[in-house]
């Protein structure tokens, strides 16, 4: 399963200027591993995100069946929303939007493993 995630930088530069940090959108099969990579805890973060560490989770969308679907959703989110609005994405904005976004428990606990994420998403899909 694939997910699209939204992170926000909490770099001291932005805090000292009284401004919110930039947002970053990506897709992955393991959100908990990916945020650790972006924060520099383990190898494999991106060039852009390495400059603005630390990063905090803001939203998680999905699940998507494969990488192709997740990348289409990521593209749709990046084209349609900017800044904090990326955490407010809905099915009214795009048919690619899935899941609860900012209300996903992964936002509170980014170390949540894939099994727990999948269980939550399965229960959420049944309740709709």
Q: Express each pLDDT in 71-90 by its tens digit.
A: 999 999 999 899 999 999 99
Confidence band for 56, pLDDT divided at 50, 70 and 90: very high
> Per-domain residue ranges for the chain?
2-127
Distance (Å, whole) CA 33 – CA 18: 30
Mean pLDDT of the chain: 92
Residue with tokens 């609860």: 100
Q: Which residues pair with 57 in a beta bridge?
A: 7
E strand intervals along 22-126? 23-28, 55-64
Confidence band for 128, pLDDT divided at 50, 70 and 90: low
Strand pairing class (23-28; 2-9): antiparallel
CA-based diameter of the chain, in Å?
44
pTM assigned to the model = 0.91
E strand intervals along 1-128? 2-9, 23-28, 55-64
Tokens of 12: 């001291």
Per-position b or e across 89-111, b if 16+ CB within 10 A of its CB = beeeebebbbbbbbebebbeebe
DSSP 101: B
């Amino acid at each position: 399963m694939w997910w699209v995630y939204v992170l926000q930088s909490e770099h001291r530069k932005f805090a000292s200027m009284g401004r919110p940090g930039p947002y970053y959108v990506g897709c992955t099969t393991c959100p908990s591993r990916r945020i650790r990579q972006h924060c520099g805890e383990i190898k494999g973060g991106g060039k852009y995100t390495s400059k603005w560490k630390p990063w905090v989770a803001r939203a998680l969308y999905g699940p998507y069946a494969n990488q192709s679907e997740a990348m289409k959703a990521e593209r749709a989110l990046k084209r349609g929303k900017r800044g904090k609005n990326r955490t407010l994405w809905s099915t009214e904005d795009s048919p690619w939007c899935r899941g609860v976004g900012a209300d996903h428990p992964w936002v509170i606990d980014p170390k949540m493993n894939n099994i727990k994420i999948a269980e939550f998403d399965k229960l959420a899909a049944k309740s709709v």
